[in-house]
Chain A
């Protein structure tokens, strides 16, 4: 038979004022909660890689073929994989983190998010904890892709690759935060989430030089790419995965990722604060 819990002591410290340490603690709780389903079901990380792997397997060979004799000039000395794999890592980040808002939409639907809003958790931790979680599947996916490509002649520069992963994680946190903000904004018309996500993701991707070198495109595209943070990120990742840690390209990549993260978190935290209404 069941027993009734003892009630002679209060379960919670009631009178404490929230401070910065509580914010860190709250973020930790949210982050741990978000990571738990990943730990129980690590295979789910692989599903997020389907699209990038398809591009890698089916688009990569086409890329070589279509550029024919110019391939060497376009890709530099490292060959097509050295050029394409870092871009595919950015693509994994793009597809994965931009879609993550749908998880929050689902929790809006079920009522789990509402329950969180009634708890003493700070509103910003609900966003920051979720956005930080994006780093983990992203890093896992990147490691898998790199390992898969090693037998195909992809050459790994470990230090550059690690810095590249850190850069990607920072960008992923920002984009994830934007995705959550989008989910909150469209929570009453959920179909809008995918419309907006798809509408933004493809221009961003094509104007980053991720799939095809922009050098072969018209001048207006190269101009447009200058305003695309993703383009800086792709260039920086290519430099880092070629082992060029100190180049200016890498610096611009960090600037782009940092701006994305700061803007994303700002917009996301604001959206989260109003997400109950």
Chain B
């Protein structure tokens, strides 16, 4: 459905300065896939999408979308793709049904079919009650559903969604996704979306393409990326003084005793399947393990048998942010360069 080869786009800033927004992207999307393109702001997601939708021409490289070259046959590409951009596709001065019917006319439907198709979509996206409302009077969530409806008017085999749920509250996001996924299963549509909601890419897309500095740095299913690049992480601490873990124990509770216990615990962790990057810090043990949910109870049983007083045990299953952090050393979440509470050094080492 999409094949790009060394797709590049530069923007001239004037004074001889150039921004390389997209640097040689090779992307292949098969028919029926649902692909999320993930990356920080300025990574080149939207620029890539604008090239694939014929809005801007590539500086170099080629892209074939829905069987046609985006530069040589933009008209053929436009007929076959649906596009929901970052803004609102519907004109604010227009009425909801009119704008949908106009969209149908644009794609070659006659007046009657265009109206019928508009009504179908109004119904499918829960907009029927708003048919004669002015677009400007809709709420953000309603307007977004209308945008999706407009992208679907001509039943495109390929739908592009550029940050479809940005600015929506969680309920409206969930609602929008409900609709998109339902339309997709009904129409056997290929979907490419950009997002910076990590959980969205994680739960919705079957394939995640991570873009940074204009290049693809990872491309796989979310589960595979997480297993390969981040992995499950366990964090345990040794029980301190006054702890309820073993009140009758004669085991010492001073810092040195706890460090000793932590070292023995680390020895047990090493034996877990897939264990790596085991770090002991005072009474705290941290490590990556193969299968966290299975490893943790096994470890706790071993700790009891070896008389190691474990106070707390935490299983951290990776998010796509951990994947991005492992790949780049940066967090996808803005304003959190270190990735929040955990030590970035450890996790960077994990990626190495």
Contacts and interface: CB of A to CB of B under 8 A. Distances in A.
A2 B92 CA distance: 26
Nearest to A106: B92
B79 A12 contact: yes
Contacts of B80: 14
Interface stretch (B94-102, B283-291, B342-350): B94-102
A12 B56 contact: no
Interface in A198-256: none
Contacts of A3: 120, 123-124
B55 A276 contact: yes
Interface stretch (A33-41, A60-68, A161-169, A173-181): A33-41
A51 interface: no
Nearest to A38: B93
Contact of A112 (B54, B89, B183): B89
A33 B89 CA distance: 14
Interface string B152-167: 0111000000000000
A10 interface: yes
Nearest to A107: B91
Nearest to A13: B108
A107 B135 CA distance: 12
B226 interface: no
Interface bin, chain B = 35 or more
A13 B154 CA distance: 10
A18 interface: yes
A21 interface: no
A2 B123 CA distance: 6
Interface in A98-129: 103, 106-107, 109-112, 114-121
Q: Which of B54, B78, B93, B188 has the most CB of A within 10 A?
A: B93
A5 B124 contact: yes
B95 A115 contact: no
Given A5-B120, A276-B56, A33 B94 contact: yes
A16 B75 CA distance: 10
A108 B117 CA distance: 26
A29 B105 contact: yes
A32 interface: yes
Interface in A1-52: 2-5, 7, 10-14, 16, 18, 26, 29, 32-33, 36-37, 40
Contacts of B154: 11-12
Nearest to A4: B186
A277 interface: yes
Interface string B8-24: 00000000000000000
A2 to B, nearest CB: 5
Given A2-B124, A32-B102, A10 B155 contact: yes
A4 B124 CA distance: 6
A37 B155 contact: no
A36 B101 CA distance: 12
B90 A112 contact: yes
A1 to B, nearest CB: 10
Contacts of B55: 114, 117-118, 276
Interface in A145-203: none
Contacts of A112: 87-92
B158 to A, nearest CB: 12
Nearest to B153: A11
Contact of B106 (A13, A103, A110, A121): A121
Contacts of A109: 87
A26 B78 CA distance: 15
A119 B103 contact: yes
A33 B91 contact: yes
A119 B107 contact: yes
A277 B56 contact: yes
Contacts of A114: 55, 85, 87, 89
A110 B87 contact: yes
B295 interface: no
Contacts of A121: 106
Interface string A248-277: 000000000000000000000000000011
Nearest to B93: A37
Contacts of A5: 117, 120-121, 124, 155, 186
Contacts of B90: 112, 115
Nearest to B187: A7
A11 B154 CA distance: 5
B88 A110 contact: yes
Interface in B112-133: 113, 117, 120-121, 123-126
Contact of B95 (A2, A36, A110): A36
Contacts of B120: 3, 5
Nearest to A32: B102
Contacts of B5: none
B107 A36 contact: no
Nearest to B11: A277
Complex A-B, nearest 5 residue pairs according to Cβ-Cβ distance, in ascending order: A111-B87, A115-B89, A37-B93, A4-B186, A5-B120
22 contacts: A3-B124, A5-B117, A7-B186, A7-B188, A12-B155, A18-B75, A26-B106, A29-B102, A32-B102, A36-B98, A110-B87, A110-B88, A111-B85, A112-B87, A112-B89, A114-B89, A115-B147, A117-B55, A119-B103, A119-B106, A120-B106, A276-B50
Given A111-B87, A115-B147, 5 more contacts: A11-B109, A33-B94, A111-B85, A115-B90, A120-B75
